[in-house]
Amino acid sequence: MAAASARRGGGGLSLCLASAGVVKALSIAAFMLTWTHSIEKTAWQEDWLVTPAGLTLQQARIKGTGAGMEPPPEARLVDGWLQWSPPPVPRAEVVLGNSGAAGEWHLCEAGRCQTLSEIFEHPIGANVTTMSVCKGP
């Protein structure tokens, strides 16, 4: 996901990230989003697909429970993570806020993770980042 991969490749779908008036297009079909809960300081992970219908959450995992971190009843403990697969509902966009209280969002693809600041090549700070499927050629 280096800056060079921020170009649309081979006519496939791309993930668009928009923050503070800057848009980055990443030529990826699947990614993991990771972050730390700002109050409980607990790790979260989500696996997403970039599809023609929108961004689709495939699986979610958390390292524990606490304030605002209640997993659904179907969650199962696997290798220390509570994990579950929510209904695959495509979303037109996903908005990521950043309180600054627990570090940054990380976007991982093919085993390589980068913060949003690294992807945008400047500090994101408290700016909101919107994820969506890139539209148009």
pLDDT digits (tens, 9 = 90+) for 22-63: 999 999 999 999 988 766 678 889 999 999 999 999 999 998
Strand partners, 101: none
Confidence band, pLDDT 50/70/90 cuts, at residue 83 = very high
Using pLDDT thresholds of 50, 70 and 90, give the confidence band for residue 132. very high
pLDDT at 32: 97
Question: Collapsing DSSP states into helix, strand and coil, what is residue 2?
Answer: coil
94 has a pLDDT exceeding 50: yes
Burial class (CB in 10 A: 0-12, 13-18, 19+), 95: exposed
At residue 103, the pLDDT reads: 74
